[in-house]
Amino acid sequence: MQSSAERAALAAEQQLAVALPRRWRHVQAVGSKARMLEQLVPEEDRGTLVAAAWLHDIGYAPGIVTTGFHALDGARWLLRHGYPRRLAGLVANHSCALYEAQERGLADVLAAEFPLEESPASDVLWYADMTTGPDGQDLSVEERLAEIRLRYGPDDLVTRFWSKAERPLLMVVERVRKLMAAQPM
């Protein structure tokens, strides 16, 4: 029987590998990092964490995009394909997605459909995503934010939302660092 993480990895590969190979490299590395960090979350959340890591950017896939907001598009696609609501919620809210939703005028929609979860699983997902570069390379969160700003430019919506979201993201990263220090790997 296929685990939820295996099913998630296969779905991500099917949607991203050919259409968006650079995004696929990022997703593979985030999935691997989440697997390495899974012991930081309760045992019952580990499969969900790793599945969310594999699926966090599935909303970028050409056949999935509807609103142009990848976190929401991906979460809705997951529900339509029978994935658990909690998993979809983690995808919908990964890496300060609420700030991007505000920039896009979708904050109320996101909050109504997928309430924000604050948990070790969501924290580790954000950490795995925001310490992994677009080609799968390990980066500090500061390097990742600098890379995003450089890639998108100063006036882009993505750059604008990260200027507002940086502080909350750094707080999440610090929580994960404390979990890592308390439980050496």
Sorted by where each starts, the structural domains of the chain and their CATH numbers stand as 4-182 (1.10.3210)
Residue 183 has a CB neighbour count (10 Å cut-off) of 10
Residue 104 amino acid letter = R
Q: What tokens were used for 61?
A: 């896939």
Each residue of 39-56: pLDDT tens digit?
999 999 999 999 999 999
Helices (H), the chain: 4-16, 21-37, 46-55, 70-80, 85-92, 97-104, 107-113, 120-130, 141-152, 157-182
Q: What is the pTM of this model?
A: 0.96
Q: Please tell me the predicted confidence (pLDDT) of residue 134.
A: 96
Going by C-alpha positions, the residue among 54, 45, 36 that lies closest to residue 138 is: 36
Q: 138 phi and psi, to 5 degrees?
A: -75, 135
Query: Confidence class of residue 2 from pLDDT cuts 50, 70 and 90?
Result: confident
The predicted pLDDT at position 185 comes to 63
Model confidence pLDDT, tens digit, residues 102-117: 999 999 999 999 999 9
> Within 10 Å of residue 7's Cβ, how many Cβ atoms?
18
